[in-house]
Amino acid sequence: KKYEHLRSGRVGSMLTVRGVDQVRAVQDIVVNETRLGIPLIIGFDVIHGYKTLSPIPLAESASWDMEAIERSACVAATEAAASGINWTFAPMVDISRDARWGRVMEGGGEDPFLGSKIAVARVKGFQGDDLSDPLTIAATAKHFAGYGFAEAGRDYNRSDIGTVTLYNMVLPPFKAVKDAGVRTMMNGFNELNGEPVTGSTFLMREILKQKWGFEGFVISDYASIEEMIVHGFAKDERMAAKKAVEAGVDMDMESYAYVNELAGLVRAGEVDERIIDDAVRRILRVKFELGLFDDPYRYLDEKREKELVGNPAHHDAVLD
């Protein structure tokens, strides 16, 4: 019963499942027991190391050493991939200038030029030159957009900024990593100028997908679709799902709004099926690029896991 959602084909990705044994157990179910056998993509918050930890991203940014920052992300990717993970919810590329915001530790500082360079270095470190290499993982640039300007430095709070700040401070690191080939983007919990970014057609459709030509997929932040009800932007889960998918959110993290509501919205003619096709296509493309359709078990090698996780060379690299 615990795995019924997996067997019924209602799960396409999982997070916090880690270690070759755990990942193999869930991948086995979806590959062998579901109608379509589409492999799972496995995500995890690999922020500044997996088992072997590097300095926090803000500390790394103070080095101004892009080569060291890229190497740090590469070590993290190698260990995560060896543990069966193929997707990280990093780097956080939010520019922030308020030290009261606790998440400044996860970003690259105050400056959009330096922040863009750091963001690209981290994406290159995670993704390498070939995403199908079983020691690389897909990166996620977050939080799109404006989260770092949360009012009074209070997490989840609104951001109220002008176009100069948006285009010259907030967006440059996201554009830089899009150009560098980042495969996924995550939106945020915040409102931007009165609208939850999870429901922002302006950000996700007009800027990211149309103007910039982003071909990866957008994932919501943790339950941020459902939280649009709390914002007063949607009256219920059904409306939240409709607003999010139409705005450009391709994957729902944790709120269950898509699982519960999307099929009914399409059947009722309230959501165009082409929007669903586009979201599915984007997610499947990344799974193809990771090599999961060639071999759903390519990240699952117990010997590799034992050899690479926490090995002395990685200790030396992060110490350096």
Beta bridge partners of 219: 186, 251
How far apart are alpha carbons 275 and 279 in whole angstroms? Answer: 6
Q: What are phi and psi of 147, to 5 degrees?
A: -60, -35
Residue type, 235: K
As beta bridge partners, residue 310 has none
Catalytic center residues: 221
Distance CA 77, CA 47 (A): 10
Q: HSE (CB half, 13 Å, CA atoms) of 92? A: 26
Size of the chain, expressed as the number of residues it contains:
320
Q: Residues 257, 144, 156, 91: is their CA dihedral positive or negative?
A: positive
**Which residue, 106, 101, 133, is CA-closest to 118?**
106
Tokens of 169: 């401070």
